[in-house]
Amino acid sequence: MLEKLKQEVYDANMRLPKLDLVTFTWGNVSGIDREKGLFVIKPSGVDYEDLKPSDMIVVNLKGEVVEGNMNPSSDTPTHTVLYNEFPEIGGIVHTHSPWAVSFAEAGIPVPALGTTHADTFYGDVPVSEALTQAEIENDYEENTGKVIVKTFKEQGVDPEAVPAVLVRQHGPFTWGATPDKAVYNAKVLEVVAEMDYHALQLTRNNSAVPQFLLDKHYYRKHGKNAYYGQNNAQSQGHAKKEVR
């Protein structure tokens, strides 16, 4: 079942090591078939070189395995929460990519300091609160999803306009219209975290970009007036609708 989506999720998982986003098996990508209400995710702890499309696990929106012989990613409950709470997303990525993790460990959002950021993220990439002891001891991965959702609600951030988060003391989750777009966003986050780290070390002054630059660059690549790329509104791994 869902053979095409399994291939797509497999391909997206295999892009993670090629884009230098994972060490060992520390990453996972999932993708959802919204009509069927089922998502496909990487099995837990399998080396990328041993992975096959048929290894992908099918899970329903209650987080129950529907098909597959292996354990799904241990982060499956996090993906389940995000698919339920962010109904417009089609793919999710989790990695331990080092620059994004450094910001998560420091508890600092990845700030919008330039156009590289603004092309993909319409504002700072937020960092969640740390989970409490109770949240960690019981239903840890589900609570990880919940703290992400809470972060976006409390800070008033649109998860389509800023398709990424840092979980405090942990690392990045990104998402997108498709698994492939979620991987694209994971790479952009890593690149801008690297750039921002060095910019922040060069100057402690406030060097955040103004709102009008965010508007210009984000909508140059997104929404009905986009003019970057060959088919604009659909191009470059970004959401199609106007998010404003």
- Return residues touching its own copies (CB under 8 A): 23-26, 43-46, 70-71, 74, 96, 98-99, 101-108, 113-116, 130-131, 133, 136-137, 140, 169-171, 184, 187-188, 191, 194-203, 205, 207, 209-210, 212-213, 215-216, 220, 227-230, 235-236
CB 127 within 8 A of CB 48: no
What stretch of H or E contains 176?
Answer: strand 171-176
Which residue, 14 or 46, has its beta carbon nearer to its own copies?
46
- Residue 227 falls in the annotated catalytic set: no
CB 183 within 8 A of CB 29: yes
Which residue, 113 or 182, has its beta carbon nearer to its own copies?
113
- Residue 124 falls in the annotated catalytic set: no
CB 16 within 8 A of CB 27: yes
Sheet holding 171-176, edge to edge: 65-67, 57-60, 38-41, 27-33, 91-95, 171-176, 164-167
Which residue, 53 or 114, has its beta carbon nearer to its own copies?
114
Give me the least distance between CB of 87 and its own copies, in Å please. Answer: 27
Half-sphere exposure (Cβ direction) of 89: Cα atoms closer than 13 Å: 32
Give me the least distance between CB of 35 and its own copies, in Å please. Answer: 29
Which residue, 2 or 110, has its beta carbon nearer to its own copies?
110
Give me the least distance between CB of 36 and its own copies, in Å please. Answer: 26
Give me the least distance between CB of 184 and its own copies, in Å please. Answer: 7
**38: nearest Cα among 4, 71, 74:** 4
| Residue in 10, 75, 83, 119 annotated catalytic | 119
Residue 68, phi-psi category: left (phi > 0), alpha (psi -120 to 50), beta (remainder): left
Catalytic residues: 119, 228
